[in-house]
Structures are given as C-alpha cells and as structure tokens.
Amino acid sequence: MLRISKLTDYSIVILVFMAKDGNSLTSRQISEGSNIPLSTVSKVLKSLTRKDILCSTRGATGGYTLAKIPKKTSVAEIVAAMEGPLAITECSDTEHATCSEEHTCPLKSHWNHINLAVKSALRSVTLQDLLSPIPSYTVNAVTSPYTNIS
C-alpha cells in the first residue's frame, strides 16, 4: 500500500538512536538500545554502510558511526539505501515489453513527475529534523478533509 518496508523503518529508528548518542557504537549496543534483534540490526547497518550513510570500523573495538552530520542525511537517502532507487512504477527502472503500447507510454512521463514529487517530499526531511521530538507543523487538520470523497 505504497508503504516503506519494516527494515527501512528500523533504519530510521537506528539512525536516530545513533545520532542522539553521537559516539561510535557496535551493532550489539545498537540492538540493545533500540530493542531490535541483533541479526536484523546487523543487516540494516550493513546496508546503510554500503550506501555511505554510515562508516564502519572492523576488528576489535570496531563499530559504526554516522558518515555525515545528521543535517546532511535525508529520508530520501535512507529509503533509497534500504529499498533501492526510488521508483514508484515498474517501468521507471526496468524495461517492459508491453511498455511499447501506444496508450501506456505517454503515462511514463507523468509517473516520472509523480515520482519526482514523492522524492522531493522525502528529501525535504533530514535526520536532523527527526531528532527533535515535537515538530512545528500540524498534520491532523490537513489530513482529515481527504478521507471521504464523494
């Protein structure tokens, strides 16, 4: 339902935890601090490291640190790191045989536009923003008029 995966959700929680701590942390420490199983934490940390959101130090006294200051890491980057390049539709990243149909191809540019809008929405929120517990914007009032459409 156009929903991020649980691992992506975990990655946000983990990154917020790490940003608040500030120090280099082992996967075990992060697991205990965030109440997420060690194996799962490990998986998430490795994905984030591969995408240069985290830095890792191997060997004894090793661990993970943020690769950049929280303000420089956007939610879009985190989602992309965990779920691959942001592509709302299938034809955005893979070639499809039926895409050569006359009626579907004109839609592609529109999907790209929608895709871009979603991407910029995710890019507008940084890890730094997620550190402050209470945001300034109010959401509930804006969401309600869209629930019932006649």
Binding site for a copy of itself (CB under 8 A): 1-4, 6, 9, 12-13, 16-17, 34-35, 51-52, 75-77, 79, 83-90, 98, 101, 103-104, 106-107, 109-110, 112-125, 129-130, 132-135, 137, 139-140, 142-143, 146-147, 149-150
Helices marked H in 1-150 — which ranges?
Answer: 6-21, 27-34, 38-50, 75-83, 105-123, 127-131, 140-143
Is there a contact between 74 and 122 (Cβ–Cβ < 8 Å)? yes
Q: How far is the CB of 136 from DNA (least distance, A)?
A: 30
Choose the contact partner of 28 out of a copy of itself, DNA, none; CB within 5 to 8 A by kind: DNA
Contact with DNA (CB under 7 A): which of 13, 17, 43, 87?
A: 43
Choose the contact partner of 35 out of a copy of itself, DNA, none; CB within 5 to 8 A by kind: a copy of itself
**Enclosing H/E stretch for 54:** strand 54-57
Q: Is 39 near DNA (CB under 7 A)?
A: yes
67 Cα distance to chain centroid: 15
Q: Which residues pair with 130 in a beta bridge?
A: none
What are the structure tokens assigned to 112, written together? 């790209």
